[in-house]
Homo-oligomer: A and B are copies of this chain.
């Protein structure tokens, strides 16, 4: 396999040349019904990736295909699936796809079949959730558990929380709701205190999630909660389960009711489909719901093996993103789901993308001379329309947009006002925004003029079900992976978080040895 920096590829030269002579895409004339119809890729689980309003044409797509081929993206993806060491900085395999099913060779590490290990843990926590739901497992006082509270931060919080919120309405509509869930993440004591004050502690099961078992915030919050449990006359070991690695201090520890395991080959931001997301989702909505989510993700992983970019949504999305980032020069991307259930999905994608590809050295530790991961942000529509869309439409800079929408709501509970349902209004707004951003509108009053040419893509489907959600999640994970491979990055480490940890320890020591740090500590009263 050949690992090249982007600017060492032939295809990149072609793309730069195309970029330098390209006129701006005039979507006012270019965006025909025909283009909308023809610029779409079927994804798994009934989803479609539609890119008619992206600034690409056949020559650009051909050059992007050449880039995908030259960078051997599919072959490198297969190396990941086959368990080769694809996180060189930490000398690790990258195995989150294996959580969802086997697509490569069996992955054996130290004599252990990791696919079998992941399946075993999945069945263990599915069984555990079943015991909670049946009432076989109960709180100290004998009450059935009504509430699950996840204690974790970063990858142990954002993905699981986003997925939980994404399925809450679906589960209630389908009669699948088992427990309600809450999350504690921040070391700010108000976060844990608020949850502890409102949760019915005697009926609450806490899920302590830390792969290393040494995360400062999570350990502080664990002790915070243990203290509350003891003060309430409850036995902490009957109210806490751990999700961790087998080498962590939390593993095989009688302080917990049970422990479920992942390993170093599941990166935090890629761990939603492990026990990190699986325990709380299985408790809240039943193990079958979580297994459906895995099935949806697995199907998307399989489709991502397709070498033709116009038939592979994740690959195409990744490459168009590279075109926008490295040739057109756009430094950000907005994620705009027209679904209130996806309210925290942008925050998860923000982590996934910015932590994976927010890097300035390549996988060999050499600085690169091109832009890598963009800033990612977003909020649900239509809310955003009444907020930051002003800048997106009429600001001085162009922000590429990723829309997401569904034909049906999750709850099916609706009202008709002025001859349309709210769900229809939601979709009409979405369609209107795509066209407005692309085409713009001339106006003699320049303050009412819209230049258009604001690129977007749309992922749409029938309804946000667990399978569709799994497919959506895997789409973005694979998109980010492909972009990291194009940029020749290691998308699976995160050295950028280390310096803050070191300086925090120094700050807490009372004498950091750095007068500026001491001065800030004095201001804040550390």
Is the beta-carbon distance between A216 and B425 smaller than 8 angstroms?
yes
Which of B169, B433, B494 contacts A500 (CB under 8 A)?
A: B433
Inside 8 A of A519's CB, which chain B residues have their CB? 33, 36-37
- DSSP class of A's interface residues: helix, strand, loop or mixed? helix
Interface code A352-386, partner B: CB below 8 Å = 1, 0 otherwise? 00110111110001111011110111011111011
Inside 8 A of A436's CB, which chain B residues have their CB? 499-500, 503
Closest CB in chain B relative to A384 CB, distance in Å: 9
Is the beta-carbon distance between B375 and A399 smaller than 8 angstroms?
yes
Closest CB in chain B relative to A126 CB, distance in Å: 27
With the chains together, A193 CA to B331 CA distance in Å?
Answer: 37
**Interface residue A393 (Cβ < 8 Å from any Cβ of B):** yes
Is the beta-carbon distance between B189 and A508 smaller than 8 angstroms?
no
Q: Which of A16-24, A140-148, A412-420 contacts B (4 or more CB under 8 A)?
A: A412-420
Is the beta-carbon distance between A189 and B421 smaller than 8 angstroms?
yes
Closest CB in chain B relative to A407 CB, distance in Å: 4
Which of B35, B194, B332 contacts A332 (CB under 8 A)?
A: B332
**Interface residue A312 (Cβ < 8 Å from any Cβ of B):** no
**Interface residue A232 (Cβ < 8 Å from any Cβ of B):** no
Inside 8 A of A392's CB, which chain B residues have their CB? 358, 496
Which of B185, B188, B417, B502 contacts A423 (CB under 8 A)?
A: B188
**Interface residue A45 (Cβ < 8 Å from any Cβ of B):** no
With the chains together, A394 CA to B356 CA distance in Å?
Answer: 11
Q: Which of A154-162, A240-248, A277-285 contacts B (4 or more CB under 8 A)?
A: A154-162
Is the beta-carbon distance between B410 and A220 smaller than 8 angstroms?
no
With the chains together, A360 CA to B398 CA distance in Å?
Answer: 11
With the chains together, A516 CA to B507 CA distance in Å?
Answer: 58
With the chains together, A357 CA to B435 CA distance in Å?
Answer: 23
Is the beta-carbon distance between B33 and A424 smaller than 8 angstroms?
no
Task: List CB contacts (< 8 Å) of A176-226 with chain B.
Answer: 185-194, 196-197, 216-217, 219-221, 223-224
